A = this chain, B = another copy of it.
Amino acid sequence: MATSEARIEDYRHGKVPRQLRERQLLELAEALFAERGYAGASMEELARRAGVTKPVVYELFGSKDGLFEACVDRSVKRLAADIATAVRAESEPEARLRAGGLAFIRFAAGNRVAWDLMSMGGRFAEQARSVRSSQAALISELMAEMAAEGTDQHELEVAAHAVNAAYEGVAHWMWAHPEVPIEQVADWIAELLIPGLRRFT
């Protein structure tokens, strides 16, 4: 990392550059949302924790929804990057799926805060849907590699969504069973899904 990370403490007399303030608020907001839930988190408190007042937050994010979406966006990007990296490390389709799945599970296990953020449905159903779709698109791509030419596009999409959801659902299960190693879990899911996916080849 060449450019040293700027810190808030360097700006003693208030007056922190917008970009830095934004990063600071995003980090605090992520923690706050995870800690209190969407409804329970108050803009006032976020501002207080950052040592500023409400209008500052509103100028940067527009609204509470805007702030939340920004947080989710951040997490989604991190997750997508993690998966992409893991997938790129392998070359065989099946190995890529296993690697992607493991990365997914790992992320869920190691970033519960971010994870909880992303799986908040409710009024953010639309956003959640688009997250899932892009996730599924990623999987579709993986599957398209190994799919025969004549495969029905809809069926492929459905399978991709199913695969994505399966991992997602199991991630929830994991929280209740920390004693089970995640590699084991990832393996079980892969073992469950791969046989059914083979018919696409």
Residues of A whose CB lies within 8 Å of any CB of B are 37-40, 116, 119-123, 125, 129, 132, 136, 154-155, 157-159, 161-170, 172-173, 176-177, 180, 185, 188-189, 191-199
Contacts and interface: CB of A to CB of B under 8 A. Distances in A.
Contacts of A173: 136, 157-158, 161
B165 A169 contact: yes
Given A161-B172, A166-B165, A166-B166, A123 B37 contact: yes
Contacts of A188: 155, 158-159
A120 B166 CA distance: 18
How many copies of this chain? Answer: 2
23 contacts: A39-B39, A39-B122, A39-B123, A40-B123, A119-B125, A120-B121, A120-B122, A122-B122, A129-B172, A154-B180, A157-B173, A158-B189, A162-B192, A165-B166, A165-B167, A165-B169, A165-B172, A191-B196, A192-B197, A193-B196, A194-B196, A195-B195, A195-B198
A132 B169 contact: yes
Shortest 4 CB-CB distances between A and B: which pairs?
A: A165-B169, A195-B195, A192-B196, A162-B166
Nearest to A124: B122
Given A120-B122, A154-B177, A173-B158, A199 B195 contact: yes
Contacts of A177: 154
Given A132-B169, A191-B199, 17 more contacts: A38-B122, A38-B123, A120-B121, A120-B125, A122-B122, A154-B177, A158-B188, A158-B189, A161-B170, A161-B172, A161-B173, A162-B167, A165-B168, A166-B166, A192-B196, A193-B196, A195-B199
B123 A121 contact: no
A125 B198 CA distance: 34
A85 to B, nearest CB: 24
Nearest to A165: B169
